[in-house]
């Protein structure tokens, strides 16, 4: 296998709600214009981001996928120096008419570094084990090291 596809998993509630919105939207198209709104909501809920690597031909792409169909432009893979797995916070702003708040959630990201400080953001997840499994898979194809930066003291694996 010379190809790796890495997509963020959809929560089950998004999968159910998005699929339902798509189905009801398509049915509603025959009776009213509101079907387009429901289809848009379904697509928004089912959209996932990820990366795809074709090591045989030396290309990668950042993807946006919906129900298994991935879109994105292919670019040549540069000379990757190492894979970094690190912890950061993902911030979401919630607004209503009278209030606004920021919600912060810890997330694990996987980046591929090349040319000393340039990076390809390959994957993000909430599970540390999942990130390291993907990092090991990529590192084995490219024969490079993994930097574990999830703790205060970074270490090479």
* CB contact at 8 A, 109 and 119: no
State the Cα–Cα distance between residues 55 and 78, nearest whole angstrom: 11
Do 16 and 87 lie in one domain? The reply is no
pLDDT value for 16:
92
* CB contact at 8 A, 109 and 83: no
Do 2 and 14 lie in one domain? The reply is yes
pLDDT value for 7:
84
pTM to 2 decimal places: 0.77
Residues 6+ apart with CB under 8 A from 123: 6, 8, 50, 51, 109, 110, 131, 134
Longest dimension (CA), the chain: 60
State the Cα–Cα distance between residues 108 and 101, nearest whole angstrom: 23
The 3-state DSSP class for residue 74 equals coil
pLDDT in tens, the chain (157 residues): 678 888 888 889 889 999 999 889 888 888 877 888 888 899 999 998 889 999 888 899 999 998 888 899 999 999 999 999 999 888 878 787 788 888 888 899 999 999 888 999 888 888 899 899 999 999 988 899 999 988 888 888 8
pLDDT value for 1:
60
pLDDT value for 147:
92
State the Cα–Cα distance between residues 48 and 66, nearest whole angstrom: 6
End-of-domain residue from the set 30, 59, 77 = 77
Give the tokens for residue 63: 């993807």
pLDDT value for 11:
86
Do 65 and 84 lie in one domain? The reply is no
End-of-domain residue from the set 58, 77, 96 = 77
Do 109 and 98 lie in one domain? The reply is yes
Quick one: CA torsion of 4, 128, 110, 117, rounded to 10 degrees? -150
pLDDT value for 144:
92
H-run or E-run covering 142: helix 128-142
Q: What is the number of domains present in the chain? A: 2
SS (H, E, C) 32-59: CCHHHHHHHHHHHHHCEEEEEEECCCCE
Do 40 and 2 lie in one domain? The reply is yes
Q: What's the domain range around 37?
A: 1-77
Q: Estimate the crossing angle of helix 12-28 against helix 34-46, to 10 degrees.
A: 160
């Amino acid at each position: 296998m010379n190809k790796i596809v890495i997509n963020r998993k959809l929560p089950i509630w998004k999968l159910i709600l998005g699929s339902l919105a798509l189905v009801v939207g398509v049915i509603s198209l025959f009776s009213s214009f509101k079907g387009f709104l429901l289809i848009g909501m379904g697509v928004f809920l089912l959209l996932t981001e990820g990366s795809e690597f074709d090591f045989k031909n030396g290309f990668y792409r950042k993807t946006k996928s919906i129900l298994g169909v991935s879109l994105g432009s292919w670019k040549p893979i540069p000379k990757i120096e190492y894979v970094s797995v690190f912890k950061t916070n993902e911030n979401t702003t919630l607004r209503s008419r009278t209030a606004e708040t920021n919600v912060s959630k810890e997330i694990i990201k996987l980046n591929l570094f090349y040319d000393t400080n340039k990076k390809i953001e390959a994957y993000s997840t909430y599970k540390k084990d999942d990130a390291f499994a993907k990092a090991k898979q990529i590192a084995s194809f490219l024969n490079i090291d993994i930097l574990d930066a999830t703790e205060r003291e970074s270490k090479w694996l």
